[in-house]
Amino acid sequence: MSKLWGGRFTKKTDQLVEEYTASILFDKELAEEDIQGSLAHVTMLGTCGILPLEDVDKIKNGLLKVQSKIRQGDIEFTVGDEDIHMNIEKALIEEVGPVGGKLHTGRSRNDQVATDMHLYLRKRVVEFVGLLNKLQEALLGQASQNLDTIVPGYTHLQRAQPILFAHHLMAYVSMFQRDIERLQDSYKRINVLPLGAGALAGTTFPIDRHFVAQQLGFDGVYENSLDAVSDRDFIIEFLSNASMIMMHLSRLSEEMILWSSTEFRFVELDDAFCTGSSIMPQKKNPDVPELVRGKTGRVYGNLFGLLTVLKSLPLAYNKDMQEDKEGMFDTVRTLQGALQLYAPMVSTMKVNKERMRQAVNQDFSNATDIADYLVNKGLPFRQAHEVIGKTVLYCIQNGKFLLDLKIEEYHQFSDLFESDIYAVLQPEQVVNARNVYGGTATGQVSAAISRAEAVKQQT
Ligand code: ARG
């Protein structure tokens, strides 16, 4: 059979042009969505009296046959038929004869492809919310087990103030919660039906767009037919949400990599998530977080790729828009890979509580607390800061930490120091003193865990 649009042409398409313009090699991934959309469309053509019901039945049965053949790998897609839409239509006509040619009544590939993309991303959003929930559960599990684990907190990657390791992990739970909410919000814009827009202007047939929307579970239909076929905002929005998720994962990855280095030794990743070196027998490399960090680049690239494809593009459909697919599929696969690995990697991670504690005991991350101590004794904060700065310098010069200093040594810097200073400097005390909502005190973090768990129960 020749081209579905061959009538106007007198010459065969150049072979290279065929290959260059075809999208079947990647849009075959939309086969299920394409058939789902066609089934709803043809049902509507029947109920609106546009096609006789016996034709509708033949087409529906044919589509279901094509569907099962595709699932079994029994249909060979061809570049000559350009894309998934025409490959399926061709297969349908082969299956049921010329009546199959009635399927495309009142429809264009422009509103068809947009519909497929909406159906496809709708599923992915639900899937990614589920995967993010799993990752949050893994983080919550580790947080609950580390409510007594104190670790240095950093700013500028310099020791700043001690915090609970649980508190650190809960920061990521909050970040992934925002990602979940962004995805859920985007669903409103994804779950809108473009079909019925025709090529760009609507259709002369008395179709019922709302019926199709209802059949396919869409919350509504596009207001404007030009916008319906030209809009790729929902894909850009998805790529942007995916970029944000990858950005969060890349930050966690960077920390995992640092924490599992010999210099930190704060955590050990399970063997199942690491690989070895072909030459250095001692190596255990954190390949998974490294690759997640690295693959963040391609996800950003896909976002910028599509933003640039759409830039200055006149309305309505342009072939340029076919370029929306490969980047989207690549981002979906990249995100799936990262999220599927992350939850088990987090829950199997071993936390080296002793090593973290040792780190806290050997730093000056309690310095803010003795400054606050002097403030409580009446010294203005600026002066207290200066006094403690000098005290820390003295410690560094003498190879000591704040808890090692005798009260006489403290008195060289201020008369306000009393023996209660030693209790103030204990890491537990330093942590628990930060008893504000959202702070690192044990009670606050355990309340934060309960709140996050309650949110998970609701979803
Ligand atoms: N393969 C095309 C795409 O992905 C489908 C729409 C083609 N429409 C057209 N008028 N050529 O964008």
**Are 302 and 382 members of one domain?**
no
Answer yes or no: is pLDDT of 456 > 90: no
| pLDDT computed for residue 8 by the predictor | 85
Residue type, 390: K
Q: Which of 315, 342, 358 is the last residue of a domain?
A: 358
The ipTM assigned to this model is: 0.97
In a domain, 50, yes or no: yes
| pLDDT computed for residue 278 by the predictor | 80
User: Cα(337) to centroid of ligand 1, in Å?
Assistant: 29
- The residue with tokens 């954190």 is 286
Look at ligand 1, atom 2, and give the residue with the nearest C-alpha: 322
Look at ligand 1, atom 12, and give the residue with the nearest C-alpha: 322
Q: What is the CATH classification number for the domain harbouring 54?
A: 1.10.275.10
In a domain, 64, yes or no: yes
Q: Which two tokens stand for residue 65?
A: 């046959």
Q: Which two tokens stand for residue 258?
A: 């640092």
User: Cα(26) to centroid of ligand 1, in Å?
Assistant: 13
Residue from 75, 157, 184 nearest 363 by CA: 157
Within 10 angstroms of residue 76's Cβ, the number of other Cβ atoms is 7
- Distance CA(339)–CA(345), nearest Å, equals 10
**Are 91 and 154 members of one domain?**
no
Mutate-to-test residue for ligand 1 from 27, 29, 83, 108, highest number of ligand atoms within 8 A of CB: 83
- Write the pLDDT tens digit of every residue in 135-178: 999 999 999 999 999 999 999 999 999 999 999 999 999 999 99
- Distance CA(143)–CA(442), nearest Å, equals 11
In a domain, 307, yes or no: yes
Whether omega for the bond prior to residue 316 falls within 30 degrees of 0, making it cis, is yes
- Write the pLDDT tens digit of every residue in 185-225: 999 999 999 999 999 999 999 999 999 999 999 999 999 99
**Are 303 and 447 members of one domain?**
no
User: Cα(236) to centroid of ligand 1, in Å?
Assistant: 18
- Write the pLDDT tens digit of every residue in 361-410: 999 989 999 999 999 999 999 999 999 999 999 999 999 999 999 999 99
Percent of the chain with pLDDT over 90: 93
**Are 303 and 385 members of one domain?**
no
Q: Which of 304, 326, 358 is the last residue of a domain?
A: 358
**Are 152 and 230 members of one domain?**
yes
pTM equals 0.94
Look at ligand 1, atom 1, and give the residue with the nearest C-alpha: 83
**Are 351 and 373 members of one domain?**
no
Answer yes or no: is pLDDT of 44 > 90: yes
In a domain, 205, yes or no: no
Answer yes or no: is pLDDT of 254 > 90: yes
- Distance CA(426)–CA(421), nearest Å, equals 9
| pLDDT computed for residue 259 by the predictor | 98
The total of structural domains in the chain comes to: 3
**Are 251 and 388 members of one domain?**
no
Residue from 221, 213, 232 nearest 197 by CA: 221
In a domain, 206, yes or no: no
Mutate-to-test residue for ligand 1 from 118, 319, 320, 329, highest number of ligand atoms within 8 A of CB: 319
Catalytic positions are: 156, 277
In a domain, 214, yes or no: no
Q: Which residues have C-beta atoms less than 6 Å from ligand 1? A: 23, 27, 83, 109-110, 113, 317, 319, 321-322
- Write the pLDDT tens digit of every residue in 94-120: 999 999 999 999 999 999 999 999 999
| pLDDT computed for residue 276 by the predictor | 83
User: Cα(110) to centroid of ligand 1, in Å?
Assistant: 6
Look at ligand 1, atom 11, and give the residue with the nearest C-alpha: 319
- Write the pLDDT tens digit of every residue in 277-334: 787 878 789 999 999 999 999 999 999 999 999 999 999 999 999 999 999 999 999 9
Helices (H), 349-437: 353-361, 367-376, 381-398, 407-411, 421-425, 427-432
**Are 161 and 263 members of one domain?**
yes
**Are 353 and 378 members of one domain?**
no
Q: Which atom of ligand 1 is nearest to the CA of 199?
A: 10
In a domain, 211, yes or no: no
Q: What is the CATH classification number for the domain harbouring 410?
A: 1.10.40.30
Percent of the chain with pLDDT over 70: 100
User: Cα(86) to centroid of ligand 1, in Å?
Assistant: 10
| pLDDT computed for residue 283 by the predictor | 78
- Distance CA(212)–CA(193), nearest Å, equals 8
Distances (CA, A) of 326 to 30, 81, 238, 239: 12, 18, 14, 12
**Are 164 and 29 members of one domain?**
no
| pLDDT computed for residue 199 by the predictor | 97
Return the axis-axis angle of helices 165-190 and 233-259, rounded to nearest 10°. Answer: 170
**Are 36 and 74 members of one domain?**
yes
Q: Which atom of ligand 1 is nearest to the CA of 325?
A: 4
The whole domain housing 370 covers 366-458
Mean per-residue pLDDT of the chain = 96
Q: Which of 303, 338, 358 is the last residue of a domain?
A: 358
Instruction: Give the confidence band of 1 by pLDDT, cuts at 50, 70, 90.
Output: low
Q: Which atom of ligand 1 is nearest to the CA of 82?
A: 1
In a domain, 212, yes or no: no
**Are 242 and 335 members of one domain?**
yes
- Write the pLDDT tens digit of every residue in 307-320: 999 999 999 999 99
Q: What is the CATH classification number for the domain harbouring 293?
A: 1.20.200.10
